Amino acid sequence: MTNAARDPHLRSMALQAKAWPFEEARKLVERFKAAPPAKGYVLLETGYGPSGLPHIGTFGEVARTSMVRHAFEQMSDLPTRLFAFSDDMDGLRKVPDNIPNKEMVTKHLGKPLTQVPDPFGKFESFGHHNNAMLRDFLDRFGFRYEFKSATEEYRSGRLDATLLKVLAHYDAIMEVMLPTLGEERQRTYSPFLPVSAATGRVLQVPVIERDVKAGTIVFEDEDGKKVETPVTGGRCKLQWKVDWAMRWVALDVDYEMAGKDLIPSVELSSKIAKILGARPPEGFNYELFLDEKGQKISKSKGNGLTIEEWLRYAPPESLALYMFQQPKRAKRLYFDVIPRAVDEYLSFLDRFAAIGKPSAKADAEAKPDGGKVPADPALLRLENPAWHIHGGAPPAPLELAGTPISFGMLLNLASACNAGDKGMLWGFLSRYAPGVTAATHPKLDELAGYAVAYFHDFVKPAKTFRAPTDVERKALEDLAAALPDLPDEAGKIQDEVYAIGKRHPFADLKDWFRALYEVLLGQSQGPRFGSFAALYGRAETAALIKKALAGELASAA
């Protein structure tokens, strides 16, 4: 029984929620408004082309589809399944740039990915290697999914009935496909790609003859001989647009999203699915991720971030948030986005925990009647990204001594003490909140480790200290003198920082805070300085200021 079935109020709020996974889930509610699916469950699918190492865009599709699935489960009691389908029977067209043993792989161009030796020497094939990498991450994140291999599906015979339908509707499918192709490609195009028994390669060759009754085609093999082969049992695969439609029909897929660049392909595959007598799945088109230069991320080029790279510097929940936010807007995906994604995730956890509490900021964020009546707490929770990231049960926010801890704060702490490991950070954290340790706060310990790694790889090499101006120097001297007499309270320290900034002739207070970070930490921005000083220590912050005024920080860098 789903949570929605046990809680009618939650279901009512889910039906009203405006977060995009709920908007998408409503398509499935409408799809089965008249009758439940004959197969007994609602099937959502994601596709994966394992021709290169998995990148974050691949993960994003599974994460987003999982969010739609969970949203639907709050609206309906219909069972659901999610297939992560790998097109690992595709022929390898080119050697990826980011793999070893390229010469060895080159010898197997054209073969199904599950027949190409693994250049990493770990698995039985390149396809198996890349599939394993994807599954490992999906498992680590805790996705509910069932992995499907095109090679296994084709060879097992589970697709045979639909493949025979494709053969029977060959002419109608050709009428859909040929107008989309160039003149030269039209002469050689066939929905069926036979796998050569002689070479093992997937062949892009014309079909010379068809026998619908026998379920076979005739083609010319690479040696010039005519060969008759069944279209079933993995002896042929389909061109991918036809293959996509065939899979929708064979598996009875109800929902699948795709990148914006695939809109024409979705339209073609939908037409073919209808020819085969099925209803195309629901879905929507998300924008593509770009690399630092604004170029589309490519598995074969290896540009952009890999899953492993993100996880070296941040928790997977921060990556899930990046996928949740504005899926229809193109976003650059490179290392600089990581700290902000982590802090936004931590902020949403904090706001989720505040919902329903007296005078909570979260309750004031959504007032559907124009501000007179606060929104229903259940609705606010459903609209919070943390609810979608954690399947409805977000953990408690990360706090120390009642104060939220940000990733930016830990980065600044690592920068100030030039942390060689997270143990150095814990020296400050434990002093700030006595009794708090890595054992009592494992999530904070994990975040500290990410902060140290990110600091050493990205912050430290880019640190550029500058000398203070005359105005900044006098203000810093005042701050260093005031810190020893202030209480160990972030708010009181922040008030004093403001007061000092106002006493000195800064054109804008923003210039004062920018100076604090540029002069003391070698960077242009950071979290609340009062919180940083409370965590780092008032005496330590005063000593840091004196080093900066003496020019020691700039000379050390």
Regarding whether 135 and 210 lie in a shared domain, the answer is no
Q: How many C-beta neighbours within 10 Å does residue 63 have?
A: 24
Does residue 417 lie in a domain region?
A: no
CB 162 within 8 A of CB 246: yes
* 255: its two tokens: 């929902």
pLDDT band at 4 (very low <50, low <70, confident <90, very high): very low
Give the largest CA-CA distance in the chain. Answer: 93
Regarding whether 123 and 211 lie in a shared domain, the answer is no
Regarding whether 62 and 14 lie in a shared domain, the answer is yes
> Residue range 40-46: average pLDDT?
98
Helical segments of 41-182, H only: 56-75, 102-106, 126-141, 150-156, 160-168, 170-177
Antiparallel, parallel or unpaired: β 331-332 and 289-290: parallel
Antiparallel, parallel or unpaired: β 258-259 and 289-290: unpaired
Regarding whether 183 and 78 lie in a shared domain, the answer is no
The beta-strand segments (E) located in 184-311 are 192-194, 209-211, 216-220, 226-230, 236-238, 258-259, 285-286, 289-290
Does residue 28 lie in a domain region?
A: yes
Regarding whether 192 and 141 lie in a shared domain, the answer is no
Does residue 184 lie in a domain region?
A: yes
The enclosing domain of 107 has a CATH number of 3.40.50.620
Regarding whether 119 and 47 lie in a shared domain, the answer is yes
Q: Using the 3D structure, point to which of 202, 219, 238 is the last residue of a domain.
A: 238
The b-or-e profile of 282-302 (16+ CB within 10 A means b, else e) is bbbebeebbbeeeeebbbeeb
Does residue 316 lie in a domain region?
A: no
Domain that holds residue 247: 3-160+240-290
The enclosing domain of 484 has a CATH number of 1.10.10.350
CA 154 to chain centre: 29
CA 556 to chain centre: 38
Number of domains in the chain: 3
Q: How many C-beta neighbours within 10 Å does residue 461 have?
A: 8
For the chain, the C-alpha Rg in angstroms (whole number) is 29
Give pLDDT tens digits for 302-315. Answer: 566 777 889 899 99
Give pLDDT tens digits for 136-170. Answer: 878 888 899 999 999 999 999 999 999 999 999 99
Q: Using the 3D structure, point to which of 251, 270, 290 is the last residue of a domain.
A: 290
Q: Using the 3D structure, point to which of 263, 290, 317 is the last residue of a domain.
A: 290
Q: Taking the model in full, what pTM does it have?
A: 0.89
Does residue 367 lie in a domain region?
A: no
CB 289 within 8 A of CB 60: yes
Antiparallel, parallel or unpaired: β 146-149 and 80-86: parallel
Regarding whether 247 and 222 lie in a shared domain, the answer is no
Regarding whether 218 and 86 lie in a shared domain, the answer is no
Regarding whether 196 and 76 lie in a shared domain, the answer is no
Does residue 343 lie in a domain region?
A: no
What residue type is 124 in one-letter code?
Answer: E
Does residue 100 lie in a domain region?
A: yes
Give pLDDT tens digits for 396-413. Answer: 998 877 778 889 999 999
Taking each helix axis from N to C end, the angle separating 126-141 and 56-75, rounded to the nearest 10 degrees, works out to 50
Distance (Å, whole) CA 124 – CA 105: 13
Does residue 391 lie in a domain region?
A: no
pLDDT of residue 1: 38
